[in-house]
Structure 1
Amino acid sequence: MSTNRDRQRAAARARLEREMGVRAEQSRLRRRRNTTIAAGAGALIVLLAAAWVVVAVTSGDDKTEAGASPSSSATPTSCEWLPLVDPSASASVDPELAKNTKDVGKPPTTGEARTGTQTMTLDTSVGTIKIEVDTAHAPCAAESFTYLASKKFFDDSVCHRLVLQSVYVLQCGDPFGTGYGGPSYRYAEENLPTGKRPAYGEGVVAMANNGNPASTGSQFFIVYKDIAQLDPNYTVIGRVTEGLDLVKKVADAGVVAEPSADPSTPPSEGKPKTEVRIKSLTMSAPTP
């Protein structure tokens, strides 16, 4: 027979276990929120992180978590287009990396615009979306978009991911539409919204990354509703000036449920039910 003291200890232990369970769940939700953007942008590069971490991280820590600050928010004085994998790390090209890379070369190493703004125009299957790109504060991202647009990199690609809870974004920029694709280079983050609340408000357009330093590629996301909490780890390239209502309509239509999903629970993220196909993406010349 248990004593009163035994019962008190058991009750205390049960309370502690409940508290630990709540804290673990809160931690899980926090990690999920801060990695939602990162997951679709760089899963393949994460698998290869050990190969190129010597290039990307001078501290030597190859366990940087998604959501940790990947870079300083200061505008870089020059744009460095890094290889996806350190060429000295392996004698052969990983076939998975090659399969998810659309190699159209790299932007010029000098001469990028560093003043004014540019207009990015997305001619999509749901209508025209225009974005004012902050060339002055995100010159490398602007130069990358300008270069890739000139190569028709984004043409006939789909926006592959829509998130409906906590992080309200439509994610695009993968030429393969899988969430793993991108160009043959990566570059450092810039123009991070440190100190801003919310960091990513309605209408903001930012670059996805995989949570590691200098892991920005071609994938970007459009914020269609204020995100209350999202770490400022993603380069802000500008703001939607036309067509945000189209993105909201896509969000209202929901996402496609995975075959293994519980039919009684509506999915909170996945492929948009309303396909958003980018027919063409163009960039204007910089204006003062």
Structure 2
Amino acid sequence: MSENRRAEVDAALADVDFEKFNYQVVFETTKGTIKMDLYPDVAPGHCKNIIGLTKIGFYDGIIFHRVIPDFVVQVGCPQGSGTGGPGYTIDAEFNNLPHETGILSMARTNDPNSAGSQFFICLGRVPHLDNQYTVFGKTSDAESEAVVLSIGDVETNHSDRPLEDVKITGSEVIVTEK
């Protein structure tokens, strides 16, 4: 079991206010910068979770462990295997937003309330994920979407793991007034 990071995440969320501010998470990767707009109106718990994890540096150094062309790129496992997380889970917040190119959604096990730190970004329209996984953001601009798509083009092995590591080298939360 992964170390429980809940107390650190909760402390990092002390000043988060979705009424007054807009939030973006920015991931610097070995393929370029990915800026993500968050959707707290439909998934506030998931937005708080990724903001908190980003603020404590949880994602820094983590690899994209799963890349499936025309489907998703997945990241957020501290072990790089797809089996780890932050030591806690959050409840699902299913909504009606479609899984399409650039959509940020939370990975989980068969248990709908098992999400932790692993997320995926869609590489195209994936209707069978709709209302099954929590959509909570989207790439902020064409440049970010292009970086995600370039990650989706990397060569992988039979387990969908990139042959050369694609990493998040740094991350930050950008806060702007509404």
Q: Where does structure 2 lack aligned partners over 5 or more consecutive residues?
A: none
Aligned length: 172
Residue 257 in 1 paired to residue 158 in 2?
A: yes
1:201–1:227 Cα contact (<8 Å) kept: yes
**Secondary structure of the residue that 1:185 maps to in structure 2?**
coil
Larger strand fraction of residues: 2
TM-score (norm 2): 0.85
Q: Which runs of 4+ in 1 moved over 4 A?
A: 109-112
RMSD: 2.2
**How far is 1:274 from its partner?**
4.6
Q: Which amino acid aligns with 1:234?
A: Y
Decide whether aligned partners of structure 1 residues 228 and 143 sit closer, same or farther in structure 2, where only a CA change above 3 A counts.
closer
Structure 2 counterparts to residues 1-288 of structure 1, below 5 A: 97=1, 101-106=2-7, 107-108=9-10, 113-115=17-19, 117-164=22-69, 168-193=71-96, 199-242=98-141, 243-257=144-158, 270-285=160-175, 287-288=177-178
C-alpha distance in 2 between matches for 1:140 and 1:155: 21
- Counterpart secondary structure, 2:93: coil
Q: Which runs of 5+ in 1 are unaligned?
A: 1-96, 259-269
Matched-pair contact (CA < 8 Å) for 1:169–1:223: yes
Contact map agreement 1:250 1:273 (CA 8 A) in 2: no
Structure with bigger RCO (C-alpha 8 Å, 6+ apart): 2
Contact 2:25–2:54 (CA<8 Å) still a contact in 1? no
How many angstroms apart in 2 are the aligned matches of 1:248 and 1:178?
21
Deviations 1:259-286 (A, max 9, x none): xxxxxxxxxxx11235320011211236
Distance in 1 separating the partners of 2:17 and 2:47: 8
Which amino acid in the other structure matches residue 245 of structure 1? A
Return the letter of the residue paired with 2:27: L
d(CA) in 2 for partners of 1:230, 1:104: 28
Over alpha carbons, which structure has the higher Rg? 1
CA contact (8 A) 1:159 1:177 kept: yes
Identity, % of aligned positions: 26
